[in-house]
Structure 1
Amino acid sequence: MEEERVITHLHTIVDSGDILVVKWNPDDSHLATACADGTVKIYASTSGNFIRTLNCRLAADAMPVTALQWRPPTSLAKTKNVLVATTADGGILHWHATSGKILHTIRFEQENQVLCVDYDVEGKYFAVGCKDMFVRVYDESTKSVIAEMAPGWGDVIGHGNRIFAVKWRDENTIISAGWDNNIIIWDVRAHRAARAIFGPHICGDAMDICGNRLLTGSYHIKDQLQLWDLNDGHNIFTQTVVSNNRPCLLYTAQFSKSDMGSMFAAGGSGSDEAYFYDSDTLRPFGMLSNLTNAVYSIDFAHASNKLAVASGDGSIRVFEITRNRQDEV
């Protein structure tokens, strides 16, 4: 007997404008979306009902919300359902999503942009990547910078362009990537890079970690989808993602969460599709096609095999992936 994965569409949430990011909250009851008009919108995940809008605009002109991250439930902080949003006009905003109240705002100089954010597993710290090529680490309780990883220069390893993805591997290690085609592994204790992997051109939340494997999705016309061994940096898997002779330039890539990364998904522009893979066989088992705009964000639920797909057509499509046993022929 072998198992076949079945992708079932549950419902679609229709909004207006580009939806750049979608994130399930820790108990999977809500979905948060980051929008190009400078707002975050909260929806009930099961019904798709709209709950509220969080206005993240820091100036008269509306700038996109670039990244979202829910504070982990393991955090010692008393307030739950805290959502962090970063903006293209240099903002880091902490929201209490349940009440819609703003808890804290960090504002960078206007010419900088905050492009990605991630919490450590305990919610004690969060890291951001910026247009100015710095990775900054903040203490969650004080909202103060406790470490800065600077751009590269000369023989010193560091970023040479905007940073679009940042992930905590463990309490002492952060991994970041962006426009400079470099994945940088940072030693947080030393405030410097330990090593780098050259190749992926990251233009969104297209990097994820599962155990010792690193998943990357590149905004390239070939070799977009890749897996790397974090122990020594060697490439495990590379595939050119193409459909009907149209390459998919990837904006997003992620492992599933509830089943220890047994599958991964990626999506982007060009072919405007999302692709689903088995992590063991490295074979695709499904594809979401016939979209009218780019797939900007994919997020798996925490406690089930549901996932949300957000695109530039103003929609969030919610799916469930199940396994069916098939008799071998």
Structure 2
Amino acid sequence: MLAAGISDGTVRMFKINSGQYVTALRDAEMRQHPGPTTAIRHRPVNRSYPITQTLTATYATGCVKCWHYPTGQCLYTIRERRQTLGLGYHPFLPKFVTVGDDTNIYLYDEETKIQERVFHASNAPDMMNGHTSRVFCACFNPKSAHELISGGWDDTVQFWDTRQPYATRHISGVHMCGDGIDISKTGKEILTCAWQRKNPLQLWDYGSGKLMVTIEPDVFNSQLYCGKYINNLFIICGGGVTNLLRVVDLRSHTTVGSIRNFPGAVFDLAIGPTKRIKRSKINDMPLLPRMAFCSAKKIYEIDVG
């Protein structure tokens, strides 16, 4: 199933194999107080989470809603006093964080629905240990139970530990306007996709926070909204100005596939499950999962492999 968030707060569900529209997730509260859907995350499937076919969505109205999409039922609602702009699930614990326009990051326990901690900057004028403007994205380190990073309008990537309220360190010079941050499965590298003309696509060392490489555009430069690791060999990113989607090989730092001239910027993307076949018979290139992205009022699916 593919979930897409609409500007009136509706979450529409589609079958990925056929593109067939299945149902819409919208309750009475969203009908009375409509607002754009800002982020959607399917609940991770692992030992800590039963397979329950649920997803969580955030809204510009400040709502955070968990949906059981086979029945269309809203399981619970959390109401925040801000514009909620995104969320990130913990990779193996029943916890998630939300981000928004008030510079704070909220950590929730999904089992109790209780807000466990608020991450924020301290009042020390000589320290940069938290965000000072809107926060658009957050990502947990898959190899740590306590560490996460976040990015936003203040041109920083902040490093957090869930056991303390203030950021432990930061990276400067990265302007985030969407879901443009990710951590590799090894937990050792950070991908940043920034809305900026210079150096929009970069890789950083997680441990030291030092820049590893700036991936240059091959022909067409784009200011980026979103990007993710596909696997340990490839990344995908999308953006605007030059409205394009780009798949990059991390071994050569070159583009292996791109699509451009969309009617609008590529604002968000999603990666499907990994294919079982390991190698392509045509060029011996690893087969990549099916991916989806949105541009203007359309949702596209692509099959790179």
Both proteins in one fold, TM over 0.5: yes
Structure 2 contact 245–260 (Cα < 8 Å) conserved:
yes
Return the letter of the residue paired with 1:196: H
Please give the alpha-carbon distance, in whole angstroms, between the structure 2 residues aligned to 1:248 and 1:301: 24
What is the aligned residue count? 286
How far is the alpha carbon of 1:79 from its aligned partner? Answer: 6.2
Return the letter of the residue paired with 1:138: Y
Structure 1 contact 70–84 (Cα < 8 Å) conserved:
yes
Structure 1 contact 242–271 (Cα < 8 Å) conserved:
no
Return the letter of the residue paired with 1:202: M
**Secondary structure at the residue paired with 1:192?**
coil
Please give the alpha-carbon distance, in whole angstroms, between the structure 1 residues aligned to 2:16 and 2:93: 23
The equivalent position to 1:279 in structure 2, one of 250, 255, 276, is 250
How far is the alpha carbon of 1:77 from its aligned partner? Answer: 5.1
Runs of 5+ in structure 2 lacking a partner?
Answer: 276-287
- 1:9 aligned residue: none
Question: Larger relative CO (CA 8 A, sep 6+): 1 or 2?
Answer: 1
- 1:266 aligned residue: 237
Structure 2 contact 121–167 (Cα < 8 Å) conserved:
no
Alignment map for 1:314-329 (pairs within 5 Å):
314-322=297-305
Q: Does 1:168 align with 2:144?
A: no
How far is the alpha carbon of 1:115 from its aligned partner? Answer: 0.9
Structure 2 contact 194–223 (Cα < 8 Å) conserved:
yes
Please give the alpha-carbon distance, in whole angstroms, between the structure 2 residues aligned to 1:133 and 1:151: 8
Return the letter of the residue paired with 1:200: V
Structure 1 contact 222–241 (Cα < 8 Å) conserved:
no
Per-residue Cα deviation, 1:21-69 (whole angstroms, up to 9, x for no partner): xxxxxxxxx1111122211111111111111111266474532111111
Aligned sequence identity (%): 27
**Secondary structure at the residue paired with 1:41?**
strand
Structure 1 contact 75–124 (Cα < 8 Å) conserved:
no
Q: 1:148 to 1:75 in 2, by over 3 A?
A: farther
The equivalent position to 2:229 in structure 1, one of 246, 255, 258, is 255
- 1:325 aligned residue: none
- Give TM-score scaled by structure 2 length: 0.88
Q: 1:146 to 1:213 in 2, by over 3 A?
A: same
Structure 2 contact 218–255 (Cα < 8 Å) conserved:
no
Return the letter of the residue paired with 2:2: L
Please give the alpha-carbon distance, in whole angstroms, between the structure 1 residues aligned to 2:210 and 2:13: 40
Return the letter of the residue paired with 2:295: G
How far is the alpha carbon of 1:98 from its aligned partner? Answer: 1.5
Please give the alpha-carbon distance, in whole angstroms, between the structure 2 residues aligned to 1:85 and 1:75: 22
How far is the alpha carbon of 1:281 from its aligned partner? Answer: 1.6
Q: 1:239 to 1:76 in 2, by over 3 A?
A: closer
Please give the alpha-carbon distance, in whole angstroms, between the structure 1 residues aligned to 2:14 and 2:156: 35
- 2:158 aligned residue: 184
Structure 2 contact 40–55 (Cα < 8 Å) conserved:
yes
- 1:142 aligned residue: 112
Name whichever structure is richer in strand by fraction: 1
- 1:19 aligned residue: none
Q: Does 1:97 align with 2:69?
A: yes
How far is the alpha carbon of 1:236 from its aligned partner? Answer: 1.2
Structure 1 contact 36–65 (Cα < 8 Å) conserved:
yes
Alignment map for 1:72-221 (pairs within 5 Å):
72-74=44-46, 76=48, 78=50, 80-109=52-81, 112-153=82-123, 154=125, 155=127, 157-169=129-141, 170-210=144-184, 211=186, 212-221=188-197
Structure 1 contact 224–241 (Cα < 8 Å) conserved:
no
Structure 2 contact 120–167 (Cα < 8 Å) conserved:
no
How far is the alpha carbon of 1:220 from its aligned partner? Answer: 0.7
Q: 1:307 to 1:79 in 2, by over 3 A?
A: closer
Please give the alpha-carbon distance, in whole angstroms, between the structure 2 residues aligned to 1:125 and 1:75: 14
How far is the alpha carbon of 1:156 from its aligned partner? Answer: 5.1
Please give the alpha-carbon distance, in whole angstroms, between the structure 1 residues aligned to 2:32 and 2:155: 34
Q: Does 1:288 align with 2:271?
A: no
- Give TM-score scaled by structure 1 length: 0.82
Structure 2 contact 226–238 (Cα < 8 Å) conserved:
yes
Return the letter of the residue paired with 1:174: L
Q: Which moved more, 1:36-45 or 1:298-307?
A: 298-307
Please give the alpha-carbon distance, in whole angstroms, between the structure 2 residues aligned to 1:103 and 1:61: 18
**Secondary structure at the residue paired with 1:118?**
strand
Structure 1 contact 306–319 (Cα < 8 Å) conserved:
no
Return the letter of the residue paired with 1:224: P
Calculate the aligned-residue CA RMSD, in Å: 1.8
